[in-house]
Structure 1
Amino acid sequence: MILTGKVDIAAPADTVFGNVTDFDLWVPQARRKGVTMRRTDGGGDPVPGMTWETDFRFRGKIRHMDSEVVRLLRPEEMAIRSLSRGFEFFVTLQIVALAAARSRLHVSLEAKPRTLGARLLLQSARLGQSGLEAKFRSRIEGFGRSLERPLGA
């Protein structure tokens, strides 16, 4: 299943890319939502091969996911591959400069099942795909609004 969304952002492409790749600021935001993120590659600037572990609650259970930045092209694109027990996810963020102070963020999320249970869950999710797409686009718009200002602000 693939979900996509785009949002126009009132900020230059370099600023948007810097905010998207500033993982040190994402960790506290995730923690406030009950998500635990641990960087596992030793830290430093974002580069391909950067990895982290994530634990979060979903449907009443604690879930674990390992993620890796597989592509990082400044200031246009970042791709992340994540593995959980049942799924493999690919998230691609592309930033297009529209003007000096305006950008467009395209986000694509592809979910691939790794187990029979995940395949069944994905099939049932496809039945409500239009609702999922609307919710995904809404989240992307909110994410885009948050990128218009520095994350620490």
Structure 2
Amino acid sequence: MLSTQEDISAPASFVFARLTDYDNLERLALRRGAKVTRSGQIGVGTTWSAEFRLRGKDRKLKGTLVEYVTDEKLGYEARIKGMEFSFSVELVALSRSRTRMVVSANAKAKTLTARVLLQSFKLARQRAQKRFANRVSDWAETIEDAYSGS
């Protein structure tokens, strides 16, 4: 399990709006070479299918929005060949203009091959945690920059 938190100088409503700007997020994925398809209106049960290349192999991901509490929490589940992932983002309003974003991710292996992959990931957990924290920090900084620029 990976988990990190970041404090953002922006109101929770603004942070939540940025996190749920799915049109923009889908465009970002398309720019990085992924093919993304959304089905359903935004809310619990919305699904995404994505195809992308990772480490020299084509991958297919199916993701679902499983929790959606406005200005407070988002929860997702995803599947990629033999693995299931859960991902959550919680927002805590520290003040009117400051929000703590707590992000966590978890993976479960469903096949032997996936178990081996997950085990090697666990051996490099510290490095993965650092990369995860850096990505979330970059994401938080982008949101903060958008708020200060608006």
TM-score by length of 1: 0.92
Matching residue of 2:51: 55
Partner residue of 2:68 out of 62, 68, 72:
72
Matching residue of 1:112: 108
- How far off is 1:59 after superposition? 1.4
Matching residue of 1:99: 95
SS in structure 1 of the partner of residue 94 of structure 2: strand
- Letter in structure 2 aligned against 1:88: E
SS in structure 1 of the partner of residue 33 of structure 2: coil
Q: Which contiguous aligned blocks of 4+ residues in structure 1 show a shift greater than 3 angstroms?
A: none
Structure 1 spans left out of the alignment, 5+ residues: none
Encode CA deviations 1:66-112: one digit per residue, 9 max, x unaligned: 11100101110000000111210000000111111110111000011
Is 1:21 equivalent to 2:17 in the alignment?
no
- How far off is 1:32 after superposition? 1.5
More helix by share: 2
Structure 2 spans left out of the alignment, 5+ residues: none
**Matched residues, number:** 147
Matching residue of 2:5: 6
- Letter in structure 2 aligned against 1:111: A
SS in structure 1 of the partner of residue 14 of structure 2: helix
TM-score by length of 2: 0.94
Matching residue of 1:140: 136
Partners of 1:114 and 1:145 in 2: CA distance: 35
Q: Using the aligned pairs only, state the percent identity.
A: 34
